Structure 1
Amino acid sequence: MDHKVALLFIGVAASLWGIIGAFVTYLYEIGFTPAQVVALRSLSAALFLVLYVFTKNRQLLKIKVSDSKYFVGTGIISIVFFNWCLFSAIEETSISVASILLYTAPAFVVIFSRLLFKEALTARKISALVVTFVGCSFVIGILPSMNEAISLYGFILGLGSGLFYALYSIFGKFALQKYDSLTVTVYTFLFAAVAITPFSGVWLAGPLLLNIKAWICIIGLGFFSTALPFILYTKGLSKIESSQASIIATIEPVVASLVGLLIFHERLNAWQYFGIVMVILAVVIVQESKQKANKQTLISKKSS
């Protein structure tokens, strides 16, 4: 795989993540609850990922029982709560607003990395945090007129999705020290499925599963917006830097906004779109900071 193909894989993966709101919204219209949708995504994604890894390299399915703690973190504490917050935010606000509030995750990663790993809080990172805060203020309607465009509950759900998604990077950092990224992804969704299913009431939705549209959305949610993009993103990361991949992935909220606009006719004002641009800019600032830090580390190692 060459560099251009890797870039394409990352872009396609981000775009597929961006259309997740369409499947979620259609499942809500059919009658599913947010918890049931989280369970359906976790179960279907786990199934597709296990089948993929089993045919690709079944050795990747082997883990130590003592390492289950990593996947409790990535699967239960992160993915379950991240998905519930995101899907609930979509229901409470809109696909566009929920998607951009999810992209506060890099700001939370910066804060957690400072607290847990003592990573330097540089001027560039601080500026990214400020830009994220101001951008979110425009998106939710606090700025420029102080008239809130969305409910406080919707805002908290959106920030919650960013918070718990950020925790995936923190827990995943420990898991990836011992396991392949595909192994981490598979067990993340397996643990998420086992944790959320008993509390989701998904079995009560039996009559809804007789709807062919529901199965199209479930397959779309589990395969096209979860398993496939994770596989493509992982393949792309094998050829390009993670910081570059993260910057390309910022097309996700753009795609999500287009889905909301073109399919569900969601309307945002000019200030909200300005806020979306600011949040995406903050992500780019943070990732460029990481890229420069990595280069400086590499230069110092070569000179020593």
Structure 2
Amino acid sequence: MKKILPYIMIASGASLWGIIAFFVKGLGAYDFTAMEIVAIRVIFAAVFLLIIGIVRYPKEMKLKEVKDVRLFVGTGILSIVFFNFCYFTTISQMNISVAVILLYTSPAFVTILSFIFLKESLTITKIAAVAGTILGCVLIAGISMEDSNITFLGIITGLGSGLGYALYTIFGKFALKKYQPFTITLYTFLIAAIALIPVTRLWTRLEILMDMKVLLYGIGLGLIPTVLAYFLYTWGLEKTEGSKAAIIATVEPVVATMLGVFLYGERLGVFQVIGALLILGSVLIVNLSFRKRRLNESGNTDIAQ
């Protein structure tokens, strides 16, 4: 159980990310822009994390060195803020289905960046799993290239969203060498909030933000698919290779698709079902190959992945 618990944590965190559309749609009904919703998300998350830190984790709130702020600039601004900026720009440029596909190039970025910076192995299994997750996302999005309005800027920002999404795993791995998951999650969202407040000027919409329904959507967005989701993912990441964590986290689009089907009445076609199965299959391949390698290592026999 201890061996698979990190995978369960990663999958749980990713599943919570998958329900984010519920809160985003709720806030969107009040005419908040995409970046304003992102700002609401990180601000509420930062407030929750500060309260939790003061009450439960006061020691984890301290930085060992001031220069370590750069790690959280990485997870907070280069990942959270950059990813959202690119993602929403892509949505404005092209079909949402294409934007989602480009976003989920992130496992490929993580695998390559982990190989370069974290010295993780690049195996055939990982490459096959990445290919499976990307193909699965293509099928889930139900893309039809004939109907897609593809632009050069959209492609660039779409790939940027995949890169930004991947950077949390990379910077998170470096930060975990010195800090606990709570510390990383706290400073990630604190720095992201500090960066977004002056950009979005949310104080000009304070009256709407105080509406009870808006407040509940904001609290839910900041707590469930944000604080809890990132904490679970970061905890699992601490005990898992970055590339494997990124592949496991692609259960998110499966959960998002289920949410659309059961909550908003969206149709799920044959290709979407196949895509979901491909993603889950890729996750299983990663887990099974890891268990096989561990059994092999205990028997002192080499098995090529």
TM-score (norm 2): 0.78
1:68: how far off? 0.8
- Work out the CA distance in 1 between the residues paired with 2:7 and 2:120: 28
1:262: how far off? 2.6
Moved more, 110-119 or 282-291: 282-291
1:206: how far off? 2.9
Structure 2 residue aligned with 1:147: 146
Task: Check conservation: 1:102, 1:158, Cα contact below 8 A.
Answer: yes
1:241: how far off? 6.2
Structure 2 vs 1, CA of residues 212 and 192 (structure 1 numbering), >3 Å: closer, same or farther?
same
- Work out the CA distance in 1 between the residues paired with 2:124 and 2:159: 23
1:276: how far off? 3.5
Letter in 2 for 1:277: L
- Work out the CA distance in 2 between the residues paired with 1:9 and 1:72: 24
Structure 2 residue aligned with 1:106: 107
Letter in 2 for 1:116: F
Task: Check conservation: 2:136, 2:279, Cα contact below 8 A.
Answer: yes
* 5+ residue gaps, structure 2: 301-305
- Work out the CA distance in 1 between the residues paired with 2:12 and 2:141: 28
Deviation per CA, 1:38-62, whole angstroms, max 9, x where unpaired? Answer: 1111110011011112111201111
Task: Check conservation: 2:36, 2:200, Cα contact below 8 A.
Answer: yes
- Work out the CA distance in 1 between the residues paired with 2:2 and 2:132: 34
- Work out the CA distance in 1 between the residues paired with 2:99 and 2:82: 14
Q: What SS does structure 2 have at the residue aligned with 1:266?
A: coil
1:146: how far off? 4.6
Equivalent residues in 2 for 1:61-72, closer than 5 Å: 61-63=61-63, 64-72=65-73
Q: What SS does structure 2 have at the residue aligned with 1:30?
A: coil
Task: Check conservation: 1:86, 1:157, Cα contact below 8 A.
Answer: yes
Structure 2 residue aligned with 1:188: 188
Task: Check conservation: 2:100, 2:141, Cα contact below 8 A.
Answer: no
Letter in 2 for 1:131: G
- Work out the CA distance in 1 between the residues paired with 2:204 and 2:234: 35
Percent of matched pairs sharing the same residue: 45
Structure 2 residue aligned with 1:29: 29
- Work out the CA distance in 2 between the residues paired with 1:155 and 1:189: 27
1:110: how far off? 0.5
1:112: how far off? 1.0
Coordinate RMSD, CA, aligned: 3.8
* 5+ residue gaps, structure 1: none
Letter in 2 for 1:69: R
TM-score (norm 1): 0.78
- Work out the CA distance in 2 between the residues paired with 1:283 and 1:156: 28
Structure 2 vs 1, CA of residues 81 and 224 (structure 1 numbering), >3 Å: closer, same or farther?
same
Structure 1 residue aligned with 2:168: 168
1:124: how far off? 1.1
Q: What SS does structure 1 have at the residue aligned with 2:264?
A: coil
Moved more, 286-295 or 53-62: 286-295
Equivalent residues in 2 for 1:1-304, closer than 5 Å: 13-63=13-63, 64-86=65-87, 102-141=103-142, 146-148=145-147, 159-232=159-232, 251-286=251-286, 288-289=288-289
- Work out the CA distance in 1 between the residues paired with 2:2 and 2:118: 34
Structure 2 vs 1, CA of residues 98 and 49 (structure 1 numbering), >3 Å: closer, same or farther?
farther
1:137: how far off? 3.7
Structure 2 vs 1, CA of residues 284 and 264 (structure 1 numbering), >3 Å: closer, same or farther?
same
Moved more, 122-131 or 49-58: 122-131
1:159: how far off? 4.7
